[in-house]
Amino acid sequence: MQKVNLQEKFSIFTEYWKPKIVGELNGQHVKLAKLKGEFIWHQHENEDELFLIVKGKLCLRLRDRDVWLEQGEFFIVPKGVEHQPVAEEEVHLLLFEPISTLNTGDQRNERTVEKLERI
């Protein structure tokens, strides 16, 4: 067991939209990611996703509304809800989701990360 310093972990990587595993508990991954620009529309059929903003401002587009999140705020996207994360400026994000969750959900393309790096 070790404590995790989020700032230290974020300083280790620079790429956007490539989540890194920083912890695991009860069948869940704690992931960090840096975001900038638009991601793809996708959904997770069997998994809820928690988006916690560590730095910056994120828009989570849903089909019926936009949810704006700022530093210190989080939003849980329920399973089956189509969403598109959009970051106008760099965002540092903590994700909490089941181990089975694929970053692109029901879509597979060049942004899909099959094997996540553990940092």
Tell me, yes or no, whether 53 lies in a domain: yes
Which tens digits make up the pLDDT trace of 18-47? Answer: 999 999 999 999 999 999 999 999 999 999
Where residue 71 sits, what CATH number does that domain have? 2.60.120.10
The C-alpha atoms of residue 14 and residue 84 are separated, in whole angstroms, by: 21
pLDDT, position 92: 98
Tell me, yes or no, whether 1 lies in a domain: no
In total, how many domains does the chain have? 1
Residue whose pair of structure tokens reads 């916690």 in the numeric block: 52
Tell me, yes or no, whether 44 lies in a domain: yes
pLDDT, position 1: 77
Tell me, yes or no, whether 82 lies in a domain: yes
pLDDT, position 11: 98
The C-alpha atoms of residue 7 and residue 41 are separated, in whole angstroms, by: 29
Instruction: Tell me which residues of the chain have a pLDDT lower than 70.
Output: none
pLDDT, position 77: 96
Query: Closest Cα partner for 96 from 54, 59, 42, 49?
Result: 49
* Domain of residue 97, residue span: 6-118
